[in-house]
Amino acid sequence: MASDGVGNGEFSFDNKRRTGLPKIQTQKTQDENVVCHDDSATPVKAQTLDELHSLQKKKSAPTTPIKSPHVFGVAVSEEERQKQQLQSISASLASLTRETGPKVVKGDPARQAETPKVQQPVHHHPTPALNISDSGLKFTHILYNLSPAELYEQAIKYEKGSFITSSGALATLSGAKTGRSPRDKRVVRDETTEDDLWWGKGSPNIEMDEQTFLINRERAVDYLCSLEKVFVNDQFLNWDPNNRIKVRIVSARAYHSLFMHNMCIRPTPEELEDFGTPDFTIYNAGQFPCNRYTHYMTSSTSIDINLARREMVILGTQYAGEMKKGLFGVMHYLMPKRQILSLHSGCNMGKEGDVALFFGLSGTGKTTLSTDHNRYLIGDDEHCWSDHGVSNIEGGCYAKCIDLVREKEPDIWNAIKFGTVLENVVFEEHTREVDYTDKSVTENTRAAYPIEYIPNAKIPCVGPHPKNVILLACDAFGVLPPVSKLNLAQTMYHFISGYTALVAGTEDGIKEPTATFSACFGAAFIMLHPTKYAAMLAEKMQKHGATGWLVNTGWSGGSYGSGSRIKLAYTRKIIDAIHSGALLKAEYKKTEVFGLEIPTALEGVPSEILDPVNTWPDKKAHKDTLLKLGGLFRKNFEVFTNYKIGSDSNLTEEILAAGPNF
C-alpha cells in the first residue's frame, strides 16, 4: 500500500504493523540542528542538594552607601565593626551576677552550616572562674534585625498559632493576655524619678524599688540567655533626626520582633552600621512569669521601667502592645526634659502645609477624622512637638480590627498585607479569610503595619507647627455643642480632663451614659503631672498661633436613647471648616455653664444643631443634664486642683476658672 504524504517528507503511516496501529516514520528536516523552544541550559555546578540550596540565597547588599565608621580617627574594618556590634549585644544581655555577657553569635542555629563550630567569646575580659553554669558553655544565637520574610519563616516554623492569612498578613496569638495589664506596670521610684514623676492618686505610675527591678531583670535576662536563640531589633523612635532615640528590643518570639520592626522606625543599613550603644533597652521575656512572692508583685505579670538604667523588663505577658506603650511612656519622660511636648494624638497635614492635631479617646472618631484622603497622614497615635514642628514617634500604625469593613476603612483594610501582624484574629481554616466580626479570642484584635502601607502617609513623618488642636469628645449626654472654639485656658482645662462618655451596659432595659476622663487623652502613658503637659501645650499654641477646638461627635437632641448621634457628614463639614480657616471667620456666642464659644452658622451644617439647647424638646431636662455633666467635670478635676505649676498657683487657678461655672 502506497504511503500517504511521503512526498512531503514529514511522516507516513504503515498499516501493515502487527498491532494494526499506524507506524509513524519521521523524516529529517532541512536543518537537523534547529530546535524549536530550546529550554535546555548548562547543568548546575552543585554536586549535592546542600550545595544547590546554598546557591539559592545571596548575601544582602546594602541599599545605601556604606560609610566606614571611625573610632578616634582610625577606620574600623568590617570584621572589627561586627565584633563591636556583638560585644554591644552581649553587654545588653549581661547578667548582674556575671562580669560579662553570654557568648553570642549571629545566625539561626537551625542552619548548621552558618554556625561556627568554635568561636572565642566576644568580650575582652577573662571568663570568671566563679558562677560557672551550663549557660557559660553555650552560644546564644542572635537573630539580628531580620527582614519580615525571615521573621515569617521563624514564626511559622517555631511558633504555634502563626499562620499566613489570605491577604498575606501574619496571624499570631498573644497568649492568655490579649490587652495591656496597667495594674501590673511598675516604675522604679528613685532619686531620678522621685521629684519628676507624677505619683499618688490618679497617677498611672505605680512605684517599685530598684532592688525588685533588678530581681525581675535578672529573671528575664537569665530566661533569654537560656534560649538557643533570641531576636534583637535595633531601631529608632521619633522622626525628628535631632531628637531620635535609639532602642534595642531583645525578645524570644518572631512575632514580637516583627511587631516592633513595624512599629518603630526602621534604620537604613548605613544607620545600622553606626548604631552603637542603644539609649533604651527592652527585655521581653513574656513567656516567663515573674515570681509572685517578689516584693511589689501582685500577679505573675510584671512590666517594669527603670528610667535611670534606661531599661524595661516584661514578664508574664506576650501582648505586644506592652512594648509599644511602654516606649511611649518613656518618651513622655525623656522628651519634656528637652522642652519637647509628647502627645497621644493623631496628626495630619493639608496640601498647603497646615497641620492639625487630633486628640480623643476610643470611640470619638479620632482615627476616622484624622484619616483624610485630601490630607497627608503624619501619624495616627504618638507625636512630638518641638521647636522645629511636629514629628511622629513611631514608624507604623496599630489599628483596631474588630468589625473592620473595606468600605468604611479602605486604607486600613488594604494595609493588611504581607509584612503586617494580625493579633488574635479568627480566620476560615481552609481559605485563611479573616472574619473581623469574630470575637472568639478577644474583641481587641489588632493589625500592626509600617506607616508607608498607608497611601497618603507623609514620609518622613514630620511637619510644621500645628495650626489647629482638635479635642474630640463623644458626648452621650447630648449637651456639648458639635463644635466650640476654645481659648488657651479652656484648651488646657479640657486637655487635662480628657473627656468622653460611653454607653453603659443594659440593666432592666435602661441604658445611661457613663462619663470617662483620661488626663491628656492618654492617662495610662503619661509620666509627669498632667498640668505640665497642658502648660507646654498652651505655651506652644500661643507661640505658634494655634487655635483650640472642642468637637462633639456624640449625641444631639437628647441623651443616648432619646436623642440621635450627630451625623458624620456634619462633623466632617466642621473639621473641613477648621482646616480651611472658614470657622475662624464665623460669628460666635457663649453657652451657659461651660462658657463655650459656639458659631451661630456654618455652611453645610443645620444652624439649629450648633446650640444643643435648640435640639432638646424638653428644655428643663437639657439644663438638668448640662448641670449634671458640669458636676462630673468638677469632681474629676478635684485631683488636679492642689498641684502648682512653677512657684505659684496662678496658672492652676486660671485653668480651673475655665471649667464649668454654675
Average of per-residue pLDDT across 547-565: 96
Q: Structure pTM?
A: 0.86
Closest CA to 395 of 235, 243, 179: 235
Measure the CA–CA gap between 248 and 283, rounded to whole angstroms: 9
Give residue 368's pLDDT. Answer: 86
For 444-456, how does the pLDDT look when each residue is reduced to its tens digit (9 = 90+)? Answer: 999 999 999 999 9
Query: Is the CB of residue 230 less than 8 Å from the CB of residue 140?
Result: yes
344 catalytically annotated: yes
Q: Which of 98, 219, 366, 573 is catalytic?
A: 366
Q: Is 281 a catalytic residue?
A: no
**pLDDT tens by residue, 391-450:** 999 999 999 999 999 998 899 999 999 999 999 999 999 999 999 999 999 999 999 999
CA dihedral 357, 359, 364, 367 (to 10 degrees): 50
Closest by Cα among 420, 408, 326, 424 to 371: 408
pLDDT, greater one: 131 or 50? 50
- Would you state the torsion angle of the CA atoms of residues 32, 38, 43, 44, taken in this order, to the nearest 10 degrees? 170
Instruction: Give yes or no: 430 in active site.
Output: no
- Which of these is catalytic: 362, 437, 607, 641? 362
Q: Beta partners for 601?
A: none
Active site residue 325: yes
Instruction: Give residue-wise pLDDT tens across range 160-171.
Output: 999 999 999 999
Lowest mean pLDDT among 16-25, 231-240, 277-286, 334-343: 16-25
Give the active site residue among 344, 383, 458, 573.
Answer: 344
Q: Is residue 38's pLDDT more than 80?
A: no
Catalytic residue among 185, 217, 256, 325, which? 325
Tell me whether strands 446-450 and 421-423 are parallel, antiparallel or unpaired: antiparallel
611: nearest Cα among 501, 480, 417 = 480
Q: Which pLDDT does position 133 carry in this prediction?
A: 62
Can you state the angle between helices 488-497 and 619-637, rounded to 10 degrees? Answer: 80
Specify the pLDDT at position 123.
43
Q: Which CA distances in Å does 77 have to 212, 273, 610?
A: 41, 12, 68
Q: Known catalytic residue: 475?
A: no
When the pLDDT of each residue in the chain is averaged and rounded to a whole number, the result is 88
Say what the pLDDT of residue 78 is. 82
Q: Which of 98, 123, 180, 465 is catalytic?
A: 180
Rounded Cα distance between 655 and 490, Å, is 7
- Residues 19-31: b if buried by 16+ CB within 10 A, e if exposed: eeeeeeeeeeeee
Q: Is 362 a catalytic residue?
A: yes
* Strand ranges across the sheet with 376-379: 376-379, 346-349, 355-359, 466-473, 547-552, 483-486, 597-599, 588-590
Known active-site residue 57: no
406 belongs to the catalytic site: no
| 124: pLDDT strictly greater than 50 | no
The C-alpha atoms of residue 155 and residue 229 are separated, in whole angstroms, by 13
- Beta strand extents in 182-299 (DSSP E only): 185-188, 207-208, 229-237, 245-251, 280-285
Render pLDDT for 497-538 as a digit per residue (tens, 0 to 9): 999 998 765 344 556 789 999 999 999 999 999 999 999 999
Smallest Cα–Cα separation from 520: which of 540, 506, 537, 542? 537
Contact (CB, 8 A) for 477 and 562? no
| Lowest-pLDDT range of 27-36, 335-344, 519-528, 619-628 | 27-36
Q: How confident is the model at residue 543 (pLDDT cuts 50, 70, 90)?
A: very high
* pLDDT tens per residue, range 582-612: 999 999 999 999 999 999 999 999 999 999 9
Sequence letter at residue 141: H
